[in-house]
């Protein structure tokens, strides 16, 4: 361990009590995506206390502060602000939101990293800029709330990161460091998993099945039953599933948001929300067309009309093997803190999705996931088991990773940036997303 690494560990350890208290506070006050006003306020206040100038209310709630030492690359340390709807969680708020995906700890990780990296001696060892960036709305919102949320604060895109990309907030950033509670190795004997598995992308889809109301008993012949049409579409979708290829990891999971109007009326409008997920953009687009055909064909059979509205989802995340720079940071924690470190197993596909895919499409990502919690993500069982591993160790790891990226003339950051091959330029990305709307 060198002098700077030791200093990073000590600074964060010296503030562990304060960080743990803030972690508990955030955990107990989860907020909906694009509405994380209190969480964002607490993050901004913390950064201001460190003497940093902050920019706030970025895409409603995003918070940014930057430190610079020299000319090197500009890296962002990303933390997600949002909780998710999980009313049965023991720490759910009155509105039913909980941190059942552990995003609160990402905020602690960037704030803890800010504590260490703003220290004059540590900062002096960096060559470049570091932005501490709290970002809104990673969780895809239910279609019913999405429409309302997208109208607030001029939000246009579904995910916090894509909205921030649209607004130019990533224009001057060369590389992002991200973290998350363990995903692929939950329940295994590992505290820190380096790299990121590939994850699926998706589009959101809402089908408004329009029929015609009539008395359900006296005059069903005068009606057009939208529920029957939607149900027939479900059967068609079930039959189409045999065309989904294993390698594409297709998931289509609809639910009925509205099933009709009243018990004695032929349903005249049924609303079906769904996500159409797959491992590649091509497979997402192909599957989307098949799903559309199911609803259009069923509508035709019953005499109803299927109005299909697609919503931009998230891009697939490419597999990011553990970069050597992550190992350099993790080795410190392995030796000094006894942390159990592994790399992500290669060739695995996470069938869930994240808007990290949108960022990864335009810039290199250095990612790690951390343990310390038990229970499935997004479930009422998600809870902190080891407060150090869950809440403080990610801050150590964030700060150490930033240091290793930017030390020695930022040679590792420069190597990763020059090796990176973007899926899209920002303009191409925005054009593609517009097409999805
Ligand atoms: Zn998450």
Q: Is 221 exposed, middle or buried (0-12, 13-18, 19+ CB in 10 A)?
A: exposed
DSSP state of 23: H
Shared-domain flag, residues 190 and 70? yes
pLDDT above 90: residue 52: yes
Distance 216 CA to ligand 1 centre (A): 44
d(CA 10, ligand 1 centre) in Å? 29
Q: What span, in angstroms and rounded, lies between the C-alpha atoms of 436 and 285?
A: 10
Cα 136 to ligand 1 centre (Å) = 12
In this prediction, residue 147 carries a pLDDT of: 79
* Residue 213 and residue 67 in one domain: no
**CA 239 to ligand 1 centroid distance, Å:** 32
Q: 193 lies in which domain range?
A: 3-199+316-436
| Distance of alpha carbon 162 from alpha carbon 152, whole angstroms | 16
CA 101 to ligand 1 centroid distance, Å: 5
Centre of ligand 1 to C-alpha 230, Å, is: 31
pLDDT in tens, 118-166: 999 999 999 999 999 999 999 998 887 877 877 777 888 889 999 999 9
Q: What CATH number is given to the structural domain containing 408? A: 3.40.630.10
Q: Are residues 195 and 206 part of one domain?
A: no
Same domain? 155 vs 46: yes
Mean pLDDT (whole number) for 355-378? 96
pLDDT tens digit sequence for 243-283: 999 999 999 999 999 999 999 999 999 999 999 999 999 99
As a whole number, the mean pLDDT across the chain is: 96
Domain identity same for 34 and 174? yes
Ligand 1 centroid from CA 98, angstroms: 12
Per-residue confidence (pLDDT) for residue 150, from 0 to 100: 74
Look at residues 311, 346, 373 and tell me which one is the last residue of a structural domain.
311
C-alpha 137: how far from chain center: 7
Could you give phi then psi for residue 187, rounded to 5 degrees? 90, -5
Compute the distance from residue 109 Cα to the ligand 1 centre, in Å.
14
Please tell me whether residues 285 and 173 are part of one structural domain: no
Q: Are residues 142 and 282 in the same domain?
A: no
Mean of pLDDT values over 200-224? 97
Going from the Cα of 309 to the center of ligand 1, the distance in angstroms, rounded, reads 26
Same domain, 25 and 143: yes
Backbone torsions φ then ψ of 291, nearest 5 degrees: -65, -45
113 CA distance to ligand 1 centroid (A)?
A: 20
For residue 153, the model assigns a pLDDT of: 74
pLDDT digits (tens, 9 = 90+) for 69-102: 999 999 999 999 999 999 999 999 999 999 999 9
Centre of ligand 1 to C-alpha 355, Å, is 10
Q: Alpha-carbon distance 235 to 279, whole Å? A: 24
Averaged over 4-9, what is the pLDDT? 98
Q: Which CATH number characterizes residue 221's domain?
A: 3.30.70.360
Q: How far is 236 from 84, CA to CA, in rounded Å?
A: 32
Q: How far is the CA of 31 from the centre of ligand 1 (A)?
A: 13
99 and 187, same structural domain?
A: yes
Number of domains the chain is built from:
2
Per-residue pLDDT of 177-194, as tens digits, reads 999 999 888 888 999 999
Q: Are residues 45 and 186 in the same domain?
A: yes
Do 109 and 238 sit in the same domain of this protein? no
Asked whether the predicted pLDDT for residue 418 surpasses 90, the reply is yes
**Distance between Cα 417 and ligand 1 center (Å):** 25
Tell me, in angstroms, the distance from the centre of ligand 1 to residue 247's CA.
24
Closest listed residue to residue 77, CA positions, set 359, 316, 412: 359
For the segment 29-50, what is each residue's pLDDT rounded down to a tens digit? 999 999 999 999 999 999 999 9
User: How far does residue 424's CA lie from ligand 1's centre (Å)?
Assistant: 24
Last residue of a domain, one of 253, 287, 311: 311
Is residue 140 located within the same domain as residue 40?
A: yes
User: Would you give the distance in Å from CA 61 to the centre of its chain?
Assistant: 15
What's the pLDDT score for residue 144? 77
**Boundary-marking domain end, from 282, 311, 340:** 311
Question: Cα of 186 to ligand 1 centre, how many Å?
Answer: 13
């Amino acid at each position: 361990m060198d002098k700077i690494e030791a200093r990073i560990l000590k600074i964060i350890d010296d503030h562990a009590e304060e960080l743990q208290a803030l972690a508990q506070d955030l955990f107990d006050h989860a907020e909906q995506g694009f509405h994380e006003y209190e969480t964002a306020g607490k993050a901004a206040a913390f950064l201001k206390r460190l003497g940093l100038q902050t920019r706030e209310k970025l895409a409603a709630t995003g918070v940014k502060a930057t430190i610079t030492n020299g000319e090197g690359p500009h890296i962002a340390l990303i933390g997600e602000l949002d909780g998710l709807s999980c009313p049965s969680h023991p720490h759910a708020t009155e509105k039913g939101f909980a941190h059942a995906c552990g995003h609160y700890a990402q905020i602690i990780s960037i704030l803890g990293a800010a504590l260490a990296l703003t220290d004059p001696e540590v900062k002096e060892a960096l060559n470049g800029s570091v932005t501490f960036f709290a970002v809104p709305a990673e969780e895809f919102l239910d279609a019913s709330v999405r429409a309302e949320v997208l109208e607030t604060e001029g939000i246009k895109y579904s995910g916090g990161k894509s909205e921030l990309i649209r607004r130019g907030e990533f224009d001057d950033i060369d590389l992002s460091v991200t973290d998350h509670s363990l995903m692929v190795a939950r329940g295994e004997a590992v505290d820190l998993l380096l790299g990121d598995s590939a994850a699926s992308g998706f589009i959101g889809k809402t089908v408004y099945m329009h029929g015609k109301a009539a008395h359900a008993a006296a005059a069903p012949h005068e009606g057009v039953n939208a529920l029957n049409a939607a149900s027939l579409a479900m059967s068609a979708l079930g039959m189409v599933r045999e065309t989904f290829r294993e390698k594409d990891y297709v998931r289509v999971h609809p639910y009925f948001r509205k099933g009709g109007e009243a018990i004695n009326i032929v349903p005249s409008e049924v609303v079906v929300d769904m996500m159409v997920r797959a491992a590649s953009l091509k497979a997402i687009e192909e599957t989307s067309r098949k799903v559309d055909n199911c609803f259009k064909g069923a509508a035709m059979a019953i005499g109803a009309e299927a109005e299909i509205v697609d919503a931009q989802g998230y891009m697939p995340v490419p597999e990011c093997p553990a970069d050597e720079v992550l190992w350099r940071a993790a080795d410190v924690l392995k030796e000094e803190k006894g942390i159990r470190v592994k790399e992500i197993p290669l060739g695995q596909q996470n069938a869930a999705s994240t808007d990290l895919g949108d960022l990864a499409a335009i810039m290199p990502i250095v990612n790690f996931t951390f343990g310390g919690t038990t229970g499935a993500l997004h479930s009422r069982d998600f809870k902190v088991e080891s407060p150090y591993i869950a809440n403080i160790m990610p801050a150590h790891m964030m700060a150490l990773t930033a240091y290793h990226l930017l030390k020695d003339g930022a040679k590792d950051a420069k190597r990763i940036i020059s090796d990176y091959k973007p899926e899209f330029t920002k303009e191409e990305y925005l054009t593609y997303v517009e097409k999805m709307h």
